[in-house]
Homo-oligomer: A and B are copies of this chain.
């Protein structure tokens, strides 16, 4: 895949750069932003000319529908720099497609490829110094769209803003991750918006996640809301469960995000002859497997964290510690995947795209 350059764009460069003020060894995920952002407005039924401008607060009406009705979607991707200072994206076509699927589900206009991917290319060319070399370093990319149209009536807006902001990143999660299996709260409904990267899906998880945090768990693994018997996914990661030598992950559905990392893990596992099955794992199966020691690993998979091994899980008050393996599939897959992303290993899949 090759990214087309977007020619129709206004570029207003920042007079100075903040880059020398940033301590790249001590970054808190998602809090430092680069010098520029891309802004593209939708009005009168069409997308206007995109603008790259200095990153700055923006002006918005208090009645904008994003504030009242949560009409907002986003994506999360990363750029990596190889040993020769070239900048690479990982499967950006997947994020672009998913973004527009989210847009349709949220009754928002789809964003043209030249604005989303072509605009991103222009932005990354300008911000390339913000992408640092070395495994673990990346530039987190946040494309998003908000309903800027005014009016406190629950109906889709007529005005939207698409933006891309960039944030240099180290690894997302640190330390041991213990998870709580949801017994009562849920992330998504059948016929709901769980498969969309819709803003509202995330705030909905904050309170139950806070309750889990208070009990010493960093994350929640959600279960289906109707029966709470099937394992679904975590807040910002799909979940893989290794029982004996097979990996299981929930099939994508209306309730589950079709993760780019998830599908890459599946393809990578297949290439490595690791058995992988897309099927719902029951909580009872998980507990049973933990008890009879056939449960070997659980890990999360998502752009921010890449692969996140889980140290243990709690269900109905019982805590199950996972074994510490010498031959962890999570570690193997993480290495293989990050090597591809960072251009340290050959990309036999054609996943990486040069800027």
Which residues of A pack against B, CB within 8 Å?
Answer: 29-31, 33, 37, 55, 57-63, 65-72, 74, 76, 104-107, 140, 142, 144, 146-147, 150-156, 163, 165, 167, 172, 182, 184-193, 198-210, 225-228, 235-236, 304
Contacts and interface: CB of A to CB of B under 8 A. Distances in A.
B147 A203 contact: yes
Contacts of A33: 62-63
28 contacts: A58-B61, A59-B59, A68-B74, A69-B202, A70-B72, A70-B200, A70-B204, A71-B202, A72-B203, A76-B152, A105-B207, A107-B206, A107-B207, A142-B152, A154-B202, A154-B206, A185-B191, A185-B192, A186-B189, A186-B190, A186-B192, A187-B192, A189-B189, A189-B192, A192-B204, A198-B200, A225-B225, A225-B226
A202 B107 CA distance: 11
A179 to B, nearest CB: 15
Contact of A165 (B37, B60, B152): B152
Given A186-B189, A191-B182, A191-B185, A31 B202 contact: no
Contacts of A104: 207
Q: How many copies does the complex hold?
A: 2
A187 to B, nearest CB: 8
A186 B254 CA distance: 11
Contact of A30 (B55, B76, B151, B202): B151
Q: Which of A65, A184, A186, A208 has the most CB of B within 10 A?
A: A186
Nearest to A185: B191
A301 to B, nearest CB: 16
Contacts of A62: 33, 37, 55, 57-58, 163, 165
A67 B199 contact: yes
- The 10 A-B residue pairs whose C-beta atoms are closest, nearest first, are A200-B200, A70-B199, A189-B189, A226-B226, A70-B200, A107-B206, A69-B202, A30-B153, A30-B152, A186-B191
